[in-house]
Amino acid sequence: MIASFVFNQIASGLSDCHCWQPHWWRLLSTTIMKPFLHTQVKQIVLGSIWCLLLLSSGIRAAEITGTVSFSPRSPQTPVMISPYARNRYRPPRTTAPQLAGTSETIIVYLDDHPALEPSPDPTTEPVIDQRELTILPHVTPIVSGTTVTFLNSDMVYHNIFSLSKAKQFNLGRYPAGEKHSVTFDRPGVVEMFCDIHSEMNGVVLVLPNPYFTTVKADGSYRISNIPPGTYVVKVWREHSRETTTKVVTTTTPEEEIILNFQL
């Protein structure tokens, strides 16, 4: 009973985490075993296999960690404005952790690389809610190929759309409780607005691989289970048109690289 619980947690964590998993492992877990085993049974089996592999090899993949600090911006009109915006602006509400002194969400991620596969988790589907005339979460980072559900929790109609190069879509007007889905299959920044309520806006940040993380309120971040290689590490800041980049090389599986950013 206890072993089953442990294996279940390990397998669930592997499917949910933004970390490196060998191609053969993803193939085994998402394609070969999926049609034949119940979800809980599959998780126990996969967890057992993964534990044996870790115990036999002793391998712990590299990780990049550090802090992000910045000089706070003076109050100003945000960069992202709806094509239909009126002369008012309401700061976005967000459920994501933010650096002290800013309402921005900041993402650290590894740029596109042959060793990093764009592998979205097929068992989860992010939800972007429209609640109290606000798009929540305000920033949604995802892996290219991910399908996102848009839910209207307000008692009024909404019409979420985007004119961005990375993804153009228009959900049309839909009432309370209705859902629509959009698949984002190209990396880039997708700026969203509501055709009915011009003060509503949000961002889907479509990334090339699952090696990304949201910077915590204290400025710290960590990206784990990175295979050896040379990577470009980028910091995306919501209200900036420029992305801060650094190049880093991991040479050993157990290496920990400290990389700090000053924005």
Angstrom distances, CA of residue 79 to CA of 2, 138, 165? 52, 14, 17
Q: Residue 57: pLDDT band by 50, 70, 90 thresholds?
A: very low
In the predicted structure, residue 151 carries a pLDDT above the cut 90: yes
Q: What is the DSSP letter of 177?
A: T
Q: Quote the tokens at residue 188.
A: 């880039």
Higher pLDDT, 197 or 95: 197
In the predicted structure, residue 90 carries a pLDDT above the cut 60: no
Strands 168-170 and 160-163: antiparallel
Place of tokens 């798009």: 135
Higher pLDDT, 256 or 50: 256
Q: Residue 194: pLDDT band by 50, 70, 90 thresholds?
A: very high
**Looking at residues 57-65, what average pLDDT do you find?**
71
Most confident stretch, 26-40, 171-185, 225-239: 171-185
Grouping H, G, I as helix, E, B as strand and the rest as coil, residue 201 is strand
CA distance 113 to 117: 8
Which of 114-118, 148-152, 205-209 bottoms out in mean pLDDT, i.e. has the lowest? 114-118
Strands 201-207 and 188-194: antiparallel
Picking from 253, 249, 239, the residue whose alpha carbon sits closest to that of residue 92 is: 239
Q: Would you say 158 and 192 are in contact if contact means Cβ atoms under 8 Å apart?
A: no
CA distance 149 to 131: 14
Write the pLDDT tens digit of every residue in 10-22.
Answer: 444 444 444 445 5
Q: Would you say 213 and 234 are in contact if contact means Cβ atoms under 8 Å apart?
A: no
Position 239 scores a pLDDT of: 76
Is the link from the previous residue into 137 a cis peptide, with omega within 30 of 0?
Answer: yes
Ordered domains of the chain (ranges, CATH):
2-59 (no CATH), 63-262 (2.60.40.420)
Other residues' Cβ atoms within 10 Å of the Cβ of residue 172: 12
Grouping H, G, I as helix, E, B as strand and the rest as coil, residue 122 is coil
Q: Residue 137: pLDDT band by 50, 70, 90 thresholds?
A: very high
The overall pTM is greater than 0.85: no
DSSP string, 142-158: EETTEEEEEEE-SSS-B
CA distance 201 to 86: 13
**Looking at residues 70-76, what average pLDDT do you find?**
57
Instruction: Provide the terminal-to-terminal Cα distance of the chain, rounded to the nearest Å.
Output: 49
Write the pLDDT tens digit of every residue in 206-258.
Answer: 999 999 999 998 999 999 999 889 999 999 988 776 788 999 988 777 789 99
Position 3 scores a pLDDT of: 44
CA distance 138 to 128: 8
Residues in contact with 214: Cβ distance below 8 Å, sequence separation at least 6, in sequence order = 96, 97, 105, 106, 107, 141, 221
